[in-house]
Structure 1
Amino acid sequence: MTEPTRPRRSGLRGFGHDGPSPWTDLDRPPLDSARLRRDLVLPGGFWTALDVVTETGSTNTDLAARAKEGEAEGAVLVAEAQNAGRGRLERQWSAPARSGLFLSMLLRPAAVPVERYGWLPILVGVAAATTLGRVAEIEVGLKWPNDLLVTVDGAERKLGGILTELSGGAVIAGLGVNVSLREPELPVPTAASLTLAGAKVADRETLLRALLREFAELYGEWVAASGDPHASGLLPAYAGRCTTLGRPVRVQLPGGRELVGEAVAVDGDGRLVVRTPDGNRTPVAAGDVVHVRPEQG
């Protein structure tokens, strides 16, 4: 029998527009969608569909279109590569093919008042941090409102992010986590990956399977409590992992304004409460938070 030709390794960016083999980077095997569906899309279970695509612009955009067409709750779309991934404030999110988990989930929390939908990115963050901490065996913190943080070489760096959007009466919850990015591949020096953070497990299928199971459980508890962050246990779970609390922060607010003080709490509406130097406590519903290093005495 003729020995099969070893696939030619291409650049770290993985897939090109002409669709090379997903095995061009042998350290980054493709996800097995059939196996994932067999394990996660179960009769009576929460997940109703799971699709893995080789490349797309944005899983959030694609799943939002399906939501408008009436797609059922519990659909998951995973991309091996995104070429137009978005984060908060329309920031671009890009990474080499198969180097991370890039997915969106379609949610229809009909039993939850719309004013509590703002807890969904926090719920995704808790599920992701809990899963990665347990499976990858690393400390993952949550920066308000929706960043996953790890420590690499003594510095706090961003591991991933969350973006939720409304579409067709549904919520599309997107999550991106860097798994195997190497130092030269990082989009910015303040980014990180599970591998760089010393993760014990970096197999994407293992992580994805555990993450979706964890999310489904937490989401079920949150919906059963009509989205109440106290009754569902979501608020204390988040506060326990939020690295923003107790820190000096600078919050860049909409309209170019800035708020400086100490992050002292997350309130019942998911807002960050900042105590300014004059003692006032100001709740912030939206803003870009910078963790400020304490001044050295």
Structure 2
Amino acid sequence: MNAASLRRALTGQDSLWTSLDVVERTGSTNTDLAQRAREGGAREGAVLVAEEQTAGRGRLERGWSAPARSGVFVSVLVVPPVPQERWGWVPLIAGVATASALARTAGLDTKLKWPNDVLVDIAGEERKTGGILAERTDVAPARDESGEGAAGIVLGIGLNVSLRESELPVPAAGSLVLAGARAADRDPLLRAVLRSFEDWYGRWTAADGDPLVSGVLEAYAAGCATLGRHVRAELPGGGELVGEAVAVDSDGRLVIGTEDGVQRPVSAGDIVHLRGDGGHGGSGGTDA
């Protein structure tokens, strides 16, 4: 990736993005950017891109790696100026932004699997081609500034772009190329994703984090492949919940209607689209 060209295109006085670095190889862009934030070496709007990740992390502490230059591996730092109880919407906003950017740039019909896996269709099968991981971090004052630190979010976005079948980490994973993307140049893909996130994040912060007023909830629900499906929620601690995914509520939780007529919101867990509804029984792909 061309770091200088990306900086010219994305950073500037009126942009959310304040800095952009590209590294050849690292363990995890999320880990690196969080460390920079804690040490005062990164401020809001910092973007860190890697050509290769050797210790990428997904949700539920899953490990992941991919060949160098085969995807988009990026982390960004944001400090949302909204009540912290609404910060859980940040990764869902990233899902909406990424899916819409890929639809425009790569010409693909993308869907979201709750909470923020990006799905594409490959030979009639839903496959995960992207994932998102949001982690809270302390943000120290910049080294040339005084004042108190703050809390922020390091948001990692990973996309499988050019991987072939033999290079996929698991059978349920996919890539943009395998899905028939009309464009697989990573620079314009990254630009599109970051611009789309800036747009949706701006709408959300302007509405003080309200997902209804900002339109984020409506956009997420419209693109969510999980809604209306028969699912199994594998919950933290080992429990599970089976039923129909009926809604995403104002807190970003997935509401599942069980066979006994009870609707239960799920705020964390692994969601499986059960076979028989056109879904798949696993997950795969990339996070940051």
- TM (norm. structure 1) is 0.88
User: Are the aligned partners of 2:30 and 2:155 in contact in 1 as well (CA < 8 Å)?
Assistant: yes
Match of 2:85 in 1: 115
Count of matched residue positions in the alignment of Structure 1 and Structure 2: 265
Aligned to 1:78: 49
The one-letter code matched in structure 1 to 2:267 is A
Aligned partners of 2:39, 2:61: CA distance in 1, in Å? 24
CA distance in 1, matches of 2:197, 2:83: 19
Aligned counterpart, 1:183: 165
Match of residue 58 from structure 1: 28
Report how far residue 295 of structure 1 moved: 7.5
Deviates more, 1:61-70 or 1:120-129: 61-70
Identity of matched residues, % = 62
What does the per-residue CA deviation read over 1:146-184, in whole Å, with 9 as the maximum and x for residues that have no partner? 111111111111101000000101100001000000110
Q: Are 2:225 and 1:243 aligned?
A: yes
Task: Measure, in 2, the Cα distance between the counterparts of 1:32 and 1:240.
Answer: 34
Equivalent residue for 2:60? 89
Partner of 1:280: 262
Give 1:86's aligned amino acid: R
Q: Which residue of 1 aligns with 2:197?
A: 215
User: Please, which of 193, 198, 209 is the counterpart of residue 227 of structure 1?
Assistant: 209
Which runs of structure 1 show a deviation greater than 4 angstroms over 4 or more consecutive aligned residues?
A: none
Summarize deviations over 1:177-231 as a string: whole Å, max 9, x none. Answer: 0000011000111100000000001110011111111111111111111110001
The one-letter code matched in structure 2 to 1:156 is E
Structure 1: gaps of 5 or more residues: 1-30
State the Cα deviation string for residues 58-114 of structure 1 (Å, max 9, x = none): 0000000111123211000000000110000110121100000000000011x2111
In the alignment, structure 2 segments of 5+ residues that lack a partner are: 139-150, 279-288
What is the CA distance between 1:293 and its match in structure 2?
2.1
Q: Which residue of 1 aligns with 2:130?
A: 160
Distance 2:248 2:263 in 1: 11
Would you say 1:134 and 2:104 are equivalent positions? yes
Alignment match, 2:144: none
For the pair 1:45 / 2:21, whether they are aligned, the reply is no
Structure 1 residues 279 and 82: CA distance shift in structure 2, 3 A = same
Within 2, Cα distance between the matches of 1:213 and 1:254?
Answer: 34
1:256 aligned counterpart, secondary structure: coil
Code of the residue aligned with 1:243 in structure 2: it is A
Residues in 2 aligned to 1:57 and 1:284: alpha-carbon distance in whole angstroms? 31
Q: CA RMSD in A?
A: 1.1
TM-score, normalised to structure 2, is: 0.90
Separation in structure 1 between the aligned mates of residue 224 and residue 123 of structure 2, nearest angstrom: 20
**Greater relative contact order: 1 or 2 (C-alpha under 8 angstroms, separation 6 or more)?**
2
> Counterpart in 1 of 2:154?
172
CA distance in 2 between partners of 1:143 and 1:93 (Å): 18
Q: Deviations 1:239-267 (Å, cap 9, x if unpaired)?
A: 00000000000000011101000000000
Q: Which one has the largest radius of gyration?
A: 1
**For residues 60 and 45 of structure 1, what CA distance do their matches in structure 2 show?**
21
Output the amino acid matched with 1:89.
L
Return the alpha-carbon distance in structure 2 between the equivalents of residues 79 and 295 of structure 1: 37
Aligned to 2:20, the other structure's residue is in SS state strand
Looking at structure 1, the residues matched to 196 and 45 of structure 2 have their Cα atoms a distance apart, in angstroms, of 14
Measured in 1, the distance between the counterparts of 2:159 and 2:76 equals 14
| Deviation larger for 67-76 or 244-253 | 67-76
